Structure 1
């Protein structure tokens, strides 16, 4: 289970310190888990399931998919939640700016992106 927690962190593209903060544990504690010096607690498993939509069965046993299936809206909510909880100001500002676009501005953005292809 410890290796799967590390695999999850890497899949989420999170640094150890940021992942530890998201799990409400210290970076040292996470390091101990990832290096098999400590066990993964039920609390950490529960946080992973709720915060990152992790399939608890996969985390405990390795069976099934890493993540639970989600609708597109749920997936977007999860992604925005990850960005807003992280330290990357560029990503936060980009999401905020996109949310403020008018329909006409979205049309311009679509045209710009289609021209880039």
Structure 2
């Protein structure tokens, strides 16, 4: 797909997100007609429009305007923006809720392991460590017992 104009890149973004013009325009709170005109380069994008794209879709405004860089902002920039917009107390509160949600147990485990690890951890080992941590945190006594037996036998074997 050509992406020589901002409108072309906006269309590319929308299609990448698998959204129709109508669905996309509703997501950012603008009329379908104006979105169509922007995609056709009939009207210019405003700073507010570019900010809406960044906030809603993590789209890189510089990429939309110039075609340079990545289509999406980095995770670090997204997190930093969240902290700026919400403030540390609100962002921290939300982050804690997310990390305590069982759906994100693997992320929580990776963070816990990362805090204790020095240097690079082999991805396969990281996967095993996350699995063991998740199972341990689930509190199932049978699984905990089995893990203890496995780890104790390994420890005795290495002494």
Instruction: Give the gaps of 5 or more residues in structure 2.
Output: 1-5, 80-102, 104-137, 139-159
Structure with more helix by fraction: 2
> Greater relative contact order (Cα 8 A, min sep 6): structure 1 or 2?
1
Deviations 1:23-58 (A, max 9, x none): 211101111111121111111100001111111211
Largest Rg, 1 or 2: 2
In structure 2, C-alpha distance between the alignment counterparts of 1:32 and 1:67, rounded to whole Å: 23
| Aligned-residue CA RMSD (Å) | 2.0
Deviations 1:34-85 (A, max 9, x none): 11211111111000011111112111111101011227xx7xxxxxxxxxxx
Alignment-derived partner of residue 65 in structure 1 = 70
Instruction: Give the gaps of 5 or more residues in structure 1.
Output: 75-98, 104-117
* TM-score normalized with structure 2 length: 0.43
* TM-score normalized with structure 1 length: 0.58
Alignment-derived partner of residue 54 in structure 2 = 49
Helix, strand or coil at the partner of 1:38 = coil
Alignment-derived partner of residue 8 in structure 2 = 3
The 4+ residue runs of structure 1 with deviation greater than 6 A are: none
